[in-house]
Structures are given as C-alpha cells and as structure tokens.
Amino acid sequence: AVGEEIRLLARVAEARSLGQDANGLMRRLRIFGAHERLALQALGRVRPDVWPAAVQHAHEVDRLIKGLSVPGRLSDPWEEMTRLALRVAAAGNRP
C-alpha cells in the first residue's frame, strides 16, 4: 500500500512539473476526498525530484518482501520501509 501511494504521488508530481493537468490525473487515478487532500499536502511538502528515488526504494522494498536480496539495502523489509518513510519525510521543500 505504501509503495502504491508513493507511485501515485510520483505520477502526479511529474505531471505537475510538466505543466499537465494534475487535478485531472488525480481523478483518473481515483484520488478523491480526504485522500486527495492528503496527497496534495504531501506533494506540497516534498520536492518533485525526490519522488523517482522514493519509487525505486519502494520497488526495492517490494523485492525484499518477496524474499529477494537487494544490494545496498537491509535484509529486513520493515527496516527498509522505515528508511523509505524517513527518506520522504526528510525531503521537505528545502532548497
């Protein structure tokens, strides 16, 4: 679920950075109501350039969950999920 949320946010962040209709994309991705408000808050707090690396990290966490090793990552998927969450949280809109 966390990985999917990160992938959705990355898609919307990319659309915004390209000047595309992010609101229309959010509707197509079925991001509505409270979910939409939270997504907009996250997009406002995290720089757009952070999302691609977060998506890659989420992909690697998915591999760990399946029991596969990932070079450069801890073997415990829960620890890596924590690192992913901290990575996104620490990547606020700082210059």
Average pLDDT value for residue range 81-91: 92
CA distance 84 to 18: 25
pLDDT tens digits for 41-77?
999 999 999 999 999 999 999 999 999 999 999 999 9
The domains of the chain are located at 2-90
CA distance 46 to 51: 8
CA distance 54 to 71: 16
8 neighbors 14 (Cβ within 8 angstroms):
no
pTM given for the model: 0.84
